[in-house]
């Protein structure tokens, strides 16, 4: 029977499947960070257990660390204690740590691919819902809770029910000024934040094939925002080219054998999915969210929807509440809405290609007066590369703030945050109430849209930039 890549990876990792019970699923790679792991290590200690496979476990600090210069101590006492606890746990249990001062430090979903830890066909978990990012390599990667972190630390296995499959086919060609972020925001706007619940997305189609690895990561990253715990892209030459030579990638004959195996990781002709959707890339515009969940997005030329037009009373209520929180009015254009802050970074859009796009827009320009523009590289490696290319100078000269690597204002745990009532346009993944600081309001968009907005101080269509013909 023809199988999807999702089923192939699943089947290969089932250790045991008892009638009525979830499968015991083998995990190839476990990524660990400071926020969702301390209680799991405490649990191990209480049970007198060890980490079963420290060679398949990698830790970093990203969520609660400051993005100020690394020669300064962590001012927030709780964050400092959490980072110190991670260091102590990793030392005690023998887990490799790219700590907050390490040259390999970065957002866990940025460094996994960067170090070649993320590989096709693998099962990858982390106590973080954006673990779906690693699916860009054709891995089955998903976020888990802290109880599950403890299970994987102890056994390198998880109890899981087989997920349903959901084909997201994106055909056609993206227009200039439209990017991977706009594809995923368009998908979520269409299916809603619960649309993929219980499913794993497979992204396919000519528009997906044409994307770089970093663009595929942007799309897979936000699978969870569509309700799917995981999303993946079958590996191809783009995947292998990206991986080759990375520190943890196989080498020599091992590499050839691995690639030969990885080439079999495609969905078979005639494989069926539980759900399917087709998106036409030709018709996509840059997308911006207007509400308080990532499904509340619209094409940038659109206007804020009217709750009165919602047939479902619950949806109307949710929209009314969202517009109240955002202080936006039905019928208004989204273009031209003022912002206080522009945030460029996160596991969604904090990679070198994202920074290049933003720098290209800001080069030789000055950001709008009174607008704070924060550029936060996704990893120490991204930061070094950007500095080698002079992007830091472009950002600084334009009046943007160039910072150290971390999750920063995507989750606003580390002091990088909005003041109540402030608006941000953000390349991150969530626009929930208070996500970027209590009372803060978020417009999610692509790096191009965010950079265009930085120049004007109001939401701007990147297609109007020089070199982006309609």
Q: Residue 318, interface with other proteins (CB under 8 A)?
A: yes
CB of 363 to other proteins, least distance (A): 29
What residues numbered 167-226 form the site for other proteins, per CB under 8 A?
Answer: 193-194, 197-198, 224
C-alpha 312/C-alpha 295 separation (Å) is 16
Q: Residue 250, interface with other proteins (CB under 8 A)?
A: yes
- Closer residue to other proteins (CB): 115 or 361: 115
Query: Which span sits near other proteins by CB under 8 A: 207-215, 242-250, 356-364, 449-457?
Result: 242-250
Query: Which span sits near other proteins by CB under 8 A: 40-48, 210-218, 338-346, 353-361?
Result: 40-48
Helices (H), 14-158: 38-47, 77-93, 108-114, 146-155
Query: Which span sits near other proteins by CB under 8 A: 31-39, 355-363, 371-379, 455-463?
Result: 31-39
- Closer residue to other proteins (CB): 261 or 388: 261
CB of 147 to other proteins, least distance (A): 4
Q: Which of 315, 324, 338, 387 binds other proteins (CB under 8 A)?
A: 315
CB of 182 to other proteins, least distance (A): 21
For residue 155, what are the CA distances in angstroms to 57, 96, 123, 411, 437?
Answer: 12, 17, 14, 30, 37
- Closer residue to other proteins (CB): 195 or 378: 195
| Sheet arrangement for strand 97-98 | 97-98, 57-60, 29-33, 123-126, 140-143
| DSSP label at residue 174 | P
Partnered with residue 402 across adjacent β-strands are 375
Q: Residue 413, interface with other proteins (CB under 8 A)?
A: yes
- Closer residue to other proteins (CB): 343 or 402: 343
Query: Which span sits near other proteins by CB under 8 A: 251-259, 270-278, 282-290, 329-337?
Result: 251-259
Tokens representing 129? 């819902």
Strand-strand pairing, 275-280 and 164-171: parallel
C-alpha 352/C-alpha 450 separation (Å) is 16
- Closer residue to other proteins (CB): 43 or 399: 43
Task: Please give the biggest Cα pair distance in the chain.
Answer: 64
Tokens representing 97? 């740590």
Site string for other proteins, 427-466 (x = CB under 8 A): ---x-xxxx--xx---------------------------
Torsion on CA atoms 210, 130, 5, 181, rounded to nearest 10: -20
What residues numbered 383-412 form the site for other proteins, per CB under 8 A?
Answer: 411-412
What residues numbered 281-310 form the site for other proteins, per CB under 8 A?
Answer: 293, 295
C-alpha 10/C-alpha 267 separation (Å) is 13
Angle of helix 213-221 versus helix 352-362 axis, rounded to 10 = 100
CB of 323 to other proteins, least distance (A): 14
Q: Residue 38, interface with other proteins (CB under 8 A)?
A: yes
What residues numbered 70-89 form the site for other proteins, per CB under 8 A?
Answer: 76, 78-79, 81-82, 85
HSE-CB for 277 with a 13 A CA cutoff = 21
**Residue 416 near residue 428, CB atoms below 8 Å:** no
What residues numbered 105-164 form the site for other proteins, per CB under 8 A?
Answer: 115-117, 119, 121-122, 127-129, 131, 143-148, 150-151, 154-159, 161
C-alpha 223/C-alpha 142 separation (Å) is 10
Q: Which of 253, 260, 308, 314 binds other proteins (CB under 8 A)?
A: 314
Q: Which residues does 317 contact at the CB level (< 8 Å), separation at least 6? A: 307
Site size toward other proteins, by CB under 8 A: 88
Chain centroid offset of residue 437 CA = 19
């Amino acid at each position: 029977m023809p199988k999807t890549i999702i089923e192939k990876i699943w089947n290969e990792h089932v250790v045991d499947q008892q009638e009525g019970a979830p499968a015991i699923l083998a995990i190839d790679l476990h990524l660990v960070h400071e926020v969702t792991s301390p209680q799991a290590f405490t649990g191990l200690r209480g049970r007198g257990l060890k980490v079963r496979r420290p060679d398949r476990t990698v830790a970093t600090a990203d969520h609660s660390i400051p993005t100020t210069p690394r020669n300064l101590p962590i001012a927030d006492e709780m964050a400092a204690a959490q980072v110190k606890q991670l260091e102590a746990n990793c030392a005690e249990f023998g887990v490799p740590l790219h700590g907050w001062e390490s040259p390999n430090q970065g957002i866990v979903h940025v460094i996994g691919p960067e170090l070649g830890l993320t590989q096709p066909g693998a099962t990858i978990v982390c106590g973080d819902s954006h673990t779906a990012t690693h699916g860009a390599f054709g891995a089955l990667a998903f976020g888990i809770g802290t109880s599950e972190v403890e299970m994987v630390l102890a056994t390198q296995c998880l109890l899981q029910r087989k997920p349903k499959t959901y084909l997201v086919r994106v055909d056609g060609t993206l227009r200039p000024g439209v990017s991977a972020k706009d594809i995923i925001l368009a998908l979520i706007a269409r299916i809603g934040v619960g649309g993929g619940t219980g499913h794993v997305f497979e992204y396919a189609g000519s528009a997906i094939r044409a994307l770089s690895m970093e663009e595929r990561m942007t799309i897979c990253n936000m699978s969870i925002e569509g309700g799917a715990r995981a999303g993946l892209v079958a590996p191809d030459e783009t995947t292998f080219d990206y991986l080759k030579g990375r520190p943890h990638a196989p080498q020599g004959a091992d590499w050839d054998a691995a690639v030969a195996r990885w080439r079999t990781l495609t969905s078979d002709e005639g494989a069926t999915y539980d759900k399917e959707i087709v998106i036409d890339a030709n018709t996509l515009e840059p997308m911006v969210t207007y509400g308080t969940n990532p499904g509340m997005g619209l094409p940038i030329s659109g206007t804020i929807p009217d709750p009165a037009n919602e047939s479902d009373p619950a949806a109307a209520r949710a929209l009314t509440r969202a517009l109240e929180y955002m202080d936006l009015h039905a019928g208004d254009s989204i273009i031209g809405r003022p912002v206080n802050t522009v945030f460029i970074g996160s596991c969604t859009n904090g990679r070198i290609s994202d920074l290049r796009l933003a720098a290209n827009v800001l080069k030789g320009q000055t950001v709008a007066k009174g607008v704070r523009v924060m550029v936060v590289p996704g990893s120490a490696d991204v930061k070094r590369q950007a500095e080698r290319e002079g992007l830091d100078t472009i950002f600084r000269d334009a009046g943007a703030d160039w910072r150290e690597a971390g999750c920063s204002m995507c989750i606003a745990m580390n002091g990088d945050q909005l003041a109540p009532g402030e608006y941000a346009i953000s390349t991150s993944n969530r626009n929930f109430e208070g996500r970027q600081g209590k009372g803060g309001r978020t417009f999610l968009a692509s790096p191009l849209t965010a950079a265009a907005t930085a120049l004007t101080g109001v939401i701007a269509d990147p297609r109007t930039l020089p070199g982006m013909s309609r």
